Amino acid sequence: MSQRRLGTAALALGIVVLTDVLRVFLPSVITIFGQAASTPAELLGAFAVGWFVLALAAPALVARVGPATVGVTAALVLGAARLALTAAPGGRAQLWLASAGLFAGLVWLAATAARVAHPLPGLVLGLTASALGHALLGTYDLVWWERWPAWVASVAVVAALLATETALGRGRSATLRALGRSRSATLPVDGAGPPVDDHAPPNRRAWLLVGPALLLGGMVALSPAVAISAMSYWYGEAGTAAPPPFALAPLGVAAPLFLLGALTPVRPRWRAVPPVLLLAGALLFGYGPPTLLTFAILVSAAGLGGCLGLAAGGPSSQRAVRTGTGPAYAVVGGMLVFAVAALVYYAAYDLGYPNEWVPAVVAALTGVVAMRGVTASGGHRPSPVEPAPGLPRRRLAVLAAVVALAAAWLHGPWLVASNRGGPPERVRLVAYNIRMGFGLDGRLDLTALDRAVGRADVVVLSEVDRGWLLNGGHDTLGLLAARLGMPYVFAPAADPLWGDAVLSRWPVQRARTRPLPAVGAPTGAQALGVTVDLSAGVRLAVVSTHLQPPPGADPVVQARAVADFATGYADGAPLVVAGDLNTEPGDPAFTAFTSAGLVDALAAARPLPTSPADDPHEQIDHVFVSPDLTAADAAAVPGTASDHLPVAVTLTLPDR
């Protein structure tokens, strides 16, 4: 295999492994280092960004020791950390393993940039393979699987990375020996040597875009979970009442668009199109309604691919050729942009400031860097440059579409039979704040969540994540619903990907959602109403909400809004209002529900603390019911699958 092909393969495999580590590192910072939001956001952010800042020393290390040695060593540490994360029990061990893997991955990127002059093929293939692999797994990472196929696949990818890295290092050594025997060869003063990728000048601009590409791809353009969420908004105001058919179909279009945009030459007259598309997609993602999320994915995917192609196809910096460290600094700097932009975007949900502009700014920055790649010729009209010669772009695009559609078929909607034996006399209801699916040990454990929910008939969920990059890009709701065999209705709160949900073993109707007053709270809140059809004309109105109090205050304003919405929505039908209400019995917000004529369904079991899960002493998760429902068997189910305990109650329906 040629050195260029080796470089492409090593970069693609490394991107896949590094992305896997990032999907563990980011939520570990929140759930383990963050300690259930008890750690100040500023300290949390400093810890996360500090690893990227520390990696700024990597180019100097590469120049001193040599990119081959550093690359192989860093790849070995990265692979070992990736495998260890599957075996780790969670907790602090997981946090430090993920941090070590991330740092090793950043050092590996710096070493790879010093050796591979053409990053575009490997970067594009790595990003696409990572997205499609995540789609085939239903957005449930191999890291969290405790089955032997996960180990086999993980070991195979890591072994392939180490094999290509070793071969690449040997090839570089042979190239340097050949150059040393040539009288015409002049090595750079830092001793790094020229890149082994066909002796081509390294492209610093393309390396600079690795971080922004990881961010925009993971947030919107190539996220399977975002694609699933986007499809759900085509089926009603508050999402679909069942898994949408071919939910991954947008990825089947986005991935080919990304590949074709990156690998197809762009003529000078059209060079402004990819940056415009990318910016438009980012603006749609940040400011558009949820129903346009599908278009945001497609437009941003095409624009992101085109920008990478523009950056890779332009003339290269001669300074990078002379020093040999320019690409290494560029890729580490680009990853620092990834870290800072991700921190600024997601910290807004703790600190309370607008964040819709962050993806647009990163998209604009990406477009500027890409345009510099085609305007660096002094104003002349350059001919189209093949960004990745030799790659069968059309066949790759078709393959990506086929894989994505296969994933859509594998994880298609399941059929849930309605109750044909007449309405039940009792309904078991569970209300649960699942903290995006991560337990106190920082692991995404669907088995533990399933066990905590038990044999419930209706499940009310708070803090539901459907694709946040910060939490690993999982569709937690879809994964849990598939495991429980229950259709769902989702309602966004903070943005289209985070909110509340209701799952039911019976069909649901009339999904309605109402935004709640922010009243100074940093994170948004809403009330979701659904009507459970228990057959034979029997209905049960269920309202799911997660009140967000302003700092140091009680969420009484939001509680009154929910009570007003719920009683109006039920319109005389039996009613349940449940969720993480962030208020204690006797507080003004709690009293707002009882004053509206609702009854505390957990009263017989009081005190019933639910938070924190490992030492519960706060009663903040509640179930209120209308007086015609009889509550019994109230309990808080012990467990650490989240930082809250689920509350469960059996409801007896009124006589018909």
What digits encode the pLDDT tens for the residues 600-650? Answer: 999 999 999 999 999 999 999 999 999 999 999 999 999 999 999 999 999
Choose from 174-178, 226-230, 314-318, 521-525 the range with maximum mean pLDDT: 226-230
CB atoms within 10 A of CB 409: 10
Taking each continuous run of H as one helix and of E as one strand, the counts in the chain are 21, 12
442, 90 in Cβ contact below 8 A?
yes
Token pair, residue 573, equals 């039908």
Q: Residues 364-379: pLDDT tens digits? A: 999 999 988 655 544 4
pLDDT of residue 422: 65
Strand pairing report for 575-580 and 539-546: parallel
Rg (CA), the chain: 26
Task: Say how far apart CA 119 and CA 264 lie, in whole Å.
Answer: 15
Token pair, residue 80, equals 């070992």
169 versus 420: the higher-pLDDT residue is: 169
- Tell me the mean pLDDT in the region 514-525: 90
Task: Say how far apart CA 427 and CA 281 lie, in whole Å.
Answer: 44
Strand pairing report for 621-625 and 575-580: antiparallel
Q: Residues 245-294: pLDDT tens digits? A: 788 999 999 999 999 999 988 888 889 999 999 999 999 999 999 999 99
Task: Say how far apart CA 378 and CA 382 lie, in whole Å.
Answer: 10
Token pair, residue 356, equals 């819709």
260, 393 in Cβ contact below 8 A?
yes
Nearest Cα residue to 249 out of 87, 103, 135: 135
pLDDT of residue 517: 93
222, 301 in Cβ contact below 8 A?
yes
Walk me through the domains of the chain, giving residue ranges and CATH numbers. Answer: 3-410 (1.20.1250), 426-652 (3.60.10.10)
What type of residue is 462? S
Mean pLDDT, rounded, of the chain: 88
Task: Say how far apart CA 559 and CA 581 lie, in whole Å.
Answer: 8
Question: Above 70 in pLDDT, residue 322?
Answer: no
Question: Above 80 in pLDDT, residue 431?
Answer: yes
pLDDT of residue 34: 83
pLDDT of residue 388: 66
> What secondary structure does DSSP assign to 413-433, as a single string?
--------S---SEEEEEEEE
Question: Above 70 in pLDDT, residue 37?
Answer: no
Residue 458: enclosing H or E segment and its boundaries? strand 458-465
Residue 31: enclosing H or E segment and its boundaries? none
Question: Above 70 in pLDDT, residue 457?
Answer: yes
Q: How sure is the predictor about 46, in pLDDT bands with cuts at 50, 70 and 90? A: very high
pLDDT of residue 377: 43
Question: Above 90 in pLDDT, residue 516?
Answer: yes
Question: Above 70 in pLDDT, residue 181?
Answer: no
pLDDT of residue 42: 82
Task: Say how far apart CA 496 and CA 293 lie, in whole Å.
Answer: 8
Task: Say how far apart CA 58 and CA 358 lie, in whole Å.
Answer: 27
pLDDT of residue 189: 36
pLDDT of residue 312: 84
CB neighbours of 151 closer than 8 A, spacing ≥ 6? Answer: 86
Question: Above 80 in pLDDT, residue 316?
Answer: no
Give a three-class secondary structure readout of 402-417.
Answer: HHHHHHHHHCCCCCCC
CB neighbours of 1 closer than 8 A, spacing ≥ 6? Answer: 9, 167
Task: Say how far apart CA 595 and CA 624 lie, in whole Å.
Answer: 11
Q: 125-151: string of b/e by CB count within 10 Å (b at 16+)?
A: bbbbbbbbbbbbbbbbbbbbbeeeebe
Token pair, residue 244, equals 């949408």
Helix or strand or coil: residue 376?
coil
Q: What angle do CA 486, 467, 410 make, to 5 degrees?
A: 55
472, 24 in Cβ contact below 8 A?
yes
CB neighbours of 576 closer than 8 A, spacing ≥ 6? Answer: 429, 458, 460, 540, 541, 542, 543, 601, 623, 624, 625, 626, 629, 651
Crossing angle, helix 249-263 and helix 393-410, to 10 degrees?
A: 170
Question: Above 80 in pLDDT, residue 575?
Answer: yes
Token pair, residue 54, equals 């520390």
pLDDT of residue 317: 40
Token pair, residue 541, equals 């109105």
Task: Say how far apart CA 238 and CA 490 lie, in whole Å.
Answer: 6
pLDDT of residue 238: 62
Q: How sure is the predictor about 196, in pLDDT bands with cuts at 50, 70 and 90? A: low
46, 339 in Cβ contact below 8 A?
no
Q: How sure is the predictor about 242, in pLDDT bands with cuts at 50, 70 and 90? A: low
Nearest Cα residue to 123 out of 211, 2, 29, 221: 211
Task: Say how far apart CA 500 and CA 368 lie, in whole Å.
Answer: 38
Choose from 18-32, 165-179, 390-404 the range with maximum mean pLDDT: 18-32
